[in-house]
Amino acid sequence: MDGERIRATHDAPGIATLAFKNPPRGTMDHVSERELLLALDRIDAQPELRVIVLTGAEEGVFIRHYDVGVLEERARAMTARGLEFDPSRPVPESSIHVAQRRIETSQRIFIAAINGVAMGGGYEITLACDLRIAQDGDYPIGLPEVNIGLLPGAGGTQRLSRLIGEARTLELILQGRTVGPREAARLGLVNECCEGSAVARAMEIAKRIAGQPPAALAHVKRLVRGATDRPLAQGLADERTLFCDLMVSDDAIERMHAMNAGRLRIESGN
């Protein structure tokens, strides 16, 4: 698949890459949203895929941010209609929110290979992913929306708070401050800052994950992703139930037998 905004490739067994593009600035817009949903549909139709890597197709840009020109047009149209908004009447999800929810709840593992600028909606896409790998370099990562009188509207306030805590999230968002990839790693905005290609590092991780039993991957993601949204007792009950579900699988029984017979080692390096 090679659309206007997303290029999809099948790079290795069990692994696909979605590369965002929108020259010359690499912003996201309604076309990007639509194509992302279509790409997720195609991924869901291929059960052999286990890991999806998201990255930028343009040098130095992951997704710069959501196209502010599009946002201004929408703002003026809503103002002309006299629309008013209140949390008691929640706004429905748009395509970007649906796509993020599908990434979070998918049984597949999503890795963001941040190879350049990732601000606003661009960084919010990475927050929906399971892992974030940033390429070392001189470029900004973060949520600067307050600088134009807005707030992160695609999950930024909620997902970043869960990732790095309320205090640090407020510190960054209230100032509209972005950080470089090394500081992003130090603060926890990304899992790591790597020397060289973020895509190459993400593919290294993806290949290791893709070699794991798919049911175990799906259960781990389900448990960890929902850990902060349910009481501990419920999470522990779900964990021991899914543990037993894996224990009775043929895959786990074969692997346990191989380990007990000395044919399989479970410890490994990074």
The residues, ordered by sequence, that sit 6+ positions from 62 with a Cβ below 8 Å of its Cβ are 20, 26, 55, 56, 112, 113, 114, 115, 116, 117, 118, 122, 126
pLDDT at 270: 59
pLDDT of residue 229: 87
pLDDT reported for residue 148:
96
C-alpha closest to that of 32 among 65, 72, 73, 61: 65
Q: How is the beta sheet containing 178-179 ordered, strand by strand? A: 60-63, 116-119, 141-142, 178-179
Q: Which residues does residue 119 pair with via DSSP β-bridges, in sequence order?
A: 142
Say what the pLDDT of residue 269 is: 57
Task: Look up the pTM and report it.
Answer: 0.95
Residue-level pLDDT, tens digit, the chain, 270 residues? 788 999 999 989 999 999 999 988 999 999 999 999 999 999 999 999 999 999 999 989 999 999 999 999 999 999 999 999 999 999 999 999 999 999 999 999 999 999 999 999 999 999 999 999 999 999 999 999 999 999 999 999 999 999 999 999 999 999 999 999 999 999 999 999 999 999 999 999 999 999 999 999 999 999 999 888 899 999 999 999 999 999 999 999 999 999 999 998 887 755
Q: 231: cis peptide before it, omega within 30°? A: no
Residue 128 makes CB contacts below 8 A (sequence gap 6+) with 99, 100, 101, 103, 104, 110, 155, 159
